[in-house]
Structure 1
Amino acid sequence: MTIVRIVYASVLDLRTDEAYYWTWSKELQLCFLDHPPMIAWFIRLGTALFGDTNLGVRFAGIVAMGASQLLLADIVRRVTHDARAVMLAALLPEAALYYGLLMAKVAPDIAAIPFALAMIWALVRLAETDDGRWWLAAGLFGGLALLSKFTVVMLLPAVAAFLLVPGWRSRWLLSPYPWCGALIALVVFSPVLIWNAQHDWASFRFQFVRATAPRDFSLRTFGDYLGLQFGQVGFVVLPVTLSALTLTAWRGYRKRQPVAILLSTAVLVPFLYFLWKSFTLRIGDTWPMFMWPIGFAAVAINIVALPRDGASAWFTRSTRRWARIAVASGIATVLLIFLYYVAAPWNFLGRTDPIGAEAGYQQVAARVDQELARTGATWIATSDYRTYAMMRWFFRGRVPVIQINERARFMGFRDPGMGLIAGHPGLYVVREPDGTGRLLAETTARREPLGRVERTWRGVVMDRYAIDTLTGWTPELAPPPDSPFYQWRWLAGELDGTARA
Structure 2
Amino acid sequence: MAAVVIAAMTMIRIVYASALDLRTDEAYYWTWSKELQLCFLDHPPMIAWFIRLGTTLFGDTNLGVRFAGILAMGASQLLLADIVRRVTHNVRAVILAVLLPEAALYYGLLMAKVAPDIAAIPFALAMICALVRLAESGDGRWWLAAGLFGGLALLSKFTVVMLLPAVAAFLLVPAWRRRWLFSPYPWCGALIALAVFSPVLIWNAQHDWASFWFQLVRATAPRDFSFRTLGDYIGLQLGQVGFILLPVTLSALTLTAWRGYRTREPVAILLSTAVLVPFLYFLWKSLTLRIGDTWPMFMWPIGFAAVAINIVRLPQEGWPKWMIRSTIGWARAAVGTGIAMVVLIFLYYVAAPWNFLGRADPIGGEAGYQQVAARAEEELASTGATWIATSDYRTYAMLRWFFRGRVPVVQINERARFLGFRDPGMSLIAGHPGLYVVREPDNSGRVWTDTTARREPLGSVQRTWRGTVMDTYALEKLTGWTPDLSPPPTSPLYQWRWLAGDPDSTARG
TM above 0.5, one fold?
yes
Is 1:273 aligned to 2:281, yes or no? yes
CA contact (8 A) 2:46 2:119 kept: yes
Is 1:177 aligned to 2:185, yes or no? yes
Give the letter for the 1:272 counterpart. Answer: L
How far apart are the structure 2 equivalents of 1:376 and 1:481?
A: 33
How big is the shift at 1:436? 5.3
Partner of 2:326: 318
1:297 pairs with 280, 296, 305, which one?
305
CA contact (8 A) 1:215 1:496 kept: no
Give the letter for the 2:21 counterpart. Answer: D
Partner of 2:3: none
Partner of 2:380: 372
Residues 196-218 of structure 1 show CA distances to partners (whole Å, capped at 9, x for unaligned) of: 00000000000000111111100
SS at match of 2:148: helix
How far apart are the structure 2 equivalents of 1:276 and 1:435?
A: 36
1:146 pairs with 145, 154, 158, which one?
154
Distance 1:436 1:33, change over 3 A: farther
How big is the shift at 1:438? 2.5
Give the letter for the 2:321 counterpart. Answer: A
How far apart are the structure 1 equivalents of 2:341 and 2:335?
A: 10
SS at match of 1:183: helix
Partner of 1:332: 340
Partner of 1:467: 475
Is 1:446 aligned to 2:454, yes or no? yes
CA contact (8 A) 1:80 1:304 kept: yes
1:344 pairs with 352, 355, 371, which one?
352
Partner of 1:419: 427
CA contact (8 A) 1:85 1:301 kept: yes
CA contact (8 A) 1:215 1:495 kept: no
CA contact (8 A) 1:38 1:148 kept: yes
Is 1:286 aligned to 2:299, yes or no? no
Partner of 2:112: 104
Give the letter for the 2:263 counterpart. Answer: K
Distance 1:315 1:168, change over 3 A: same
1:264 pairs with 268, 272, 276, which one?
272
CA contact (8 A) 2:399 2:409 kept: yes
Partner of 1:490: 498
Partner of 1:129: 137
How big is the shift at 1:497? 8.6
What is the total number of aligned residue pairs between the two structures? Answer: 501
How big is the shift at 1:490? 1.7
Q: TM-score, normalised by structure 2?
A: 0.98
Consecutive unaligned residues in structure 1, runs of 5 or more:
none
SS at match of 1:300: helix
SS at match of 2:442: coil
SS at match of 1:486: coil
Partner of 2:68: 60
How far apart are the structure 2 equivalents of 1:357 and 1:131?
A: 51
How far apart are the structure 1 equivalents of 2:497 and 2:62?
A: 28
Give the letter for the 1:218 counterpart. Answer: S
2:227 pairs with 203, 211, 219, which one?
219
SS at match of 2:503: coil
How far apart are the structure 1 equivalents of 2:388 and 2:411?
A: 9
CA contact (8 A) 2:148 2:196 kept: yes
Partner of 1:77: 85
How big is the shift at 1:248? 0.2
Is 1:356 aligned to 2:364, yes or no? yes
Q: TM-score, normalised by structure 1?
A: 0.99
How far apart are the structure 2 equivalents of 1:232 and 1:225?
A: 10
How far apart are the structure 2 equivalents of 1:265 and 1:438?
A: 46
Give the letter for the 1:190 counterpart. Answer: S
CA contact (8 A) 1:383 1:436 kept: no
Partner of 1:197: 205
CA contact (8 A) 1:225 1:278 kept: yes
How big is the shift at 1:380? 0.2
How big is the shift at 1:494? 4.8
Give the letter for the 2:395 counterpart. Answer: T
How far apart are the structure 2 equivalents of 1:24 and 1:438?
A: 27
How far apart are the structure 2 equivalents of 1:182 and 1:43?
A: 28
Give the letter for the 1:500 counterpart. Answer: R
Distance 1:77 1:10, change over 3 A: same
Residues 200-239 of structure 1 show CA distances to partners (whole Å, capped at 9, x for unaligned) of: 0000000000111111100000000001100100000100
SS at match of 2:145: helix
How far apart are the structure 1 equivalents of 2:385 and 2:506?
A: 35
1:455 pairs with 463, 474, 483, which one?
463
SS at match of 1:52: coil
Root-mean-square deviation (Å): 0.9
Partner of 1:385: 393
Residues 414-471 of structure 1 show CA distances to partners (whole Å, capped at 9, x for unaligned) of: 0000000000000000001125543213211000000100000000000000000011
Identity between Structure 1 and Structure 2 (%) = 85
Distance 1:460 1:210, change over 3 A: same
How far apart are the structure 2 equivalents of 1:256 and 1:264?
A: 12
How far apart are the structure 1 equivalents of 2:147 and 2:324?
A: 36
CA contact (8 A) 1:281 1:497 kept: no
1:480 pairs with 484, 488, 504, which one?
488
How big is the shift at 1:38? 0.1
Consecutive unaligned residues in structure 2, runs of 5 or more:
1-8
How far apart are the structure 2 equivalents of 1:83 and 1:494?
A: 54
